[in-house]
Amino acid sequence: MSTPPTFDSYPQKPHGGVLVNQVVSADKRDERIEYAKTLPAIRVDLEAVITIEMIATGVLSPNTG
């Protein structure tokens, strides 16, 4: 695993100081998509969609799990 980048010279710091990569690696992508198809579907409102997107893209980093 690589060392996380430092952000000392940036005006905006990641929350908690560490970015957490939530992106599934290419070699696990198809497996995860198939697994996701077996999970129950839920409906979410726009606010939840925005929050989920922010977790997935690291805006709310370092959320894990």
pLDDT of residue 45: 97
23/50 Cα distance (integer angstroms): 17
Q: What is the pLDDT of residue 39?
A: 96
Q: How many residues does the chain have?
A: 65
Question: Residue 20: what pLDDT?
Answer: 72
What is the distance in angstroms between the CA of the first residue and the CA of the last residue of the chain? 18
Residues of the chain with pLDDT under 50: none
- Provide the pLDDT for residue 48: 95
Query: Alpha-carbon distance 53 to 47, whole Å?
Result: 10
Between the alpha carbon of residue 12 and those of residues 5, 6, 32, the distances in Å are: 13, 12, 32
pLDDT number for residue 22: 74
**What is the reported pLDDT for 65?**
60
